[in-house]
Chain A
């Protein structure tokens, strides 16, 4: 038999031991690949959320701050709605240090039947908007007409189809790229469309929020502060001089999400480290036991003229094969778990979750594979060194 084929033959001869070693390395690479992918996706989600923040300050009705989780509604598009009089837009606009100002209109749909769930409808003023339009423009270049909508990446519909809200049919003209946040479940339209939908919802008796004329109300005021002005000073100015509204700094709201993410990422890193330590110990023990068990086999190979370095290469080749197979299985398993269940992971964690791009994922897979092979080689090197110190004659005499 060709000695080059010996590592493969050795692995084939002991299928249970080989399978166990492959499973072990597969677990190692699953932990590295799956864990890192989830951590990266959480970070991508946060970055995506940060890039969606076009406004420095958001002004909401004072009552909304106590009634709603503003962070979820304003940053993540969790369905909810509140209104204040349109006059506040002019009042806030007079505060010094404001570069851009625009109103937004919120309306949450109601659950109806199987194929609908509460959605956040977000209306913006095309003339003054500086937060939603730049984002929409990445996917839709035209101007939104009445009852035309752009939908978030999680909504299963297509351009040209219609969605019905409060008995009004709206035509989908664009689908936004995923952000990994609840904004993927939101629908964007012009202020006119949202006002018409507010009227329809009131006609159906489904909007108990306001008795005001939809033309005279707004939900939030988005503010971009002029360069040279301190954002906190502008925010405090609004809070001091204008009553019944609350100005909130967007960066302070995102810090809560960032803190939760840091905690989750830390737990994931600890778990990966624990699996690593465990797998490393077991791999070292497994290869050491394997060499012990096969001392006579290696002694015979030495007697027939196989050099010590050749023996070491046989062990390293076996470990490389096992680690490679295990690494590939682990990556495939990680792919099969993380990708199809990404929506479930996102909803269970309650954090922005956006899978990285294909290039990053392929790079991560390659690194995981390299790490698996290196760890396997390290464990086998230890066994090979141990083997090089074995007295061949003594081993063969022990057998007699």
Chain B
């Protein structure tokens, strides 16, 4: 029996494959102790822990530890003269007209940072050697100023020479053998000290929290007889055995959105679709990602609460447009939606938990595209009158009817999502029309068709159980580990041999890591080189389509030139030199396929389904809309206007579009005619 458990902000979702049959469960999350929610989900699904062979877990524990500043107390070592690097950051502001600007709050306090007398040059040569005797005394007294839960080390130019960081780590271990130590040369061996130090500090900061959480979770599982394999989702879209994750917690920082993307890629693959744009709409925000050839792109850097993190993360754009996003009118008379959100508490006005602000969910209830009975498959009570009351004020100030105000709020939320999709497509030089839109999460399928219309996307694919796709994604995730290295190399014919050998070495290291954490099976490798023109400061990720042995100068240069042209609308004449700055290799061990049972091998007769019709208010018109359960959608296309409900999410198929089920059980929505 294989089980995926995904802890989200509001709900904890579970997907289980038992004797080839797929079942799902959804329970409220328990934010203060997420493991309780996870165990509740296992209970709710009536699972016998002794029978689970493979348990994959995703959670927001690491993310929340940072957002709520509840990580461990970190003692940090830096080069003399750089102790204030978290106070200075990059000296800039993210809001240029904000006089009361505050910088993002660091996770390590200034008094917990100790300067080390040492210095390297940019090429890694030693300018000032470490004096181990002096250092030893300094470390001993600094550690006494704790107690610390973890230690981070970030010395200038350590990406070029790790020896000084290693030496400091050794001395720390002599005095505090049990303290976890994180070196910047391991976490992010790349130049720019603030970004590297921030990554290192965050890694050290979340480590004790994740280790503690996983230890507790494992004990509870084992007490109930679990002796299968526990693995944890990473931000890069792969999984890791829990034992490996306890050493590399920062890799889990963005695991939630990554699991959804993996689920979408897997579901689309079953329908033979490899080029997709994912649309994951939740309560407070929407995540979108573009996947070409079934291969999610990784971004080298992202931010958490304003703090930079340089560790490979699936390249996802997030926009503050979710079901709980609040609609408002600014003082220039413009209707806005988000980024403020009513969140899970108090939540949309219709939830009756004290929320009074008009939200996107309230708008759907007014418009009719969400029905009171469609919330959690009918198990949750909602109050339409409260939604109407919330929109009344907004409607008055816009001089619109309540229905028109609600419809406008939905359109604005959708346009915000359209812009996020443009960020991952047109801004990267890719045409969204070449992709299939794959919506999921509770609210994604409700908005997908209108969003597709704005982008001229022709096809939408809604996976089975779209509302719990992230949990399914956990089960589809391969074991993945990435290794990277910074080594600037001017690109010419004679450099190719060195590029080849670095890539091969990284591949060996990544594979060896998988061996070490006990992952067997065949390995597949991805090779990525980060390149730029000489003189530029930012690199483009160029994925290689050949193995290192097959690599040639012409291939590398052309791949880079094409990527540069695609993104920046120009490339330089061929005589202008390019350089490789860093290398990244991923090793992947597959876990075998996974498919939702579509649950209806027999062709349903839609006419047999209990037919309900309702009126919905869209675009100033009242439209008659059928409500059809998902099981009743067959392989023969049905034209809108339809709401398709599956108990985890609602799909809106407006007029001009039609929906049908394909063989693997996904729903395909296409333009009519």
A and B are partners in one complex rather than unrelated chains: no
State the B residues within 8 Å of A (CB).
none
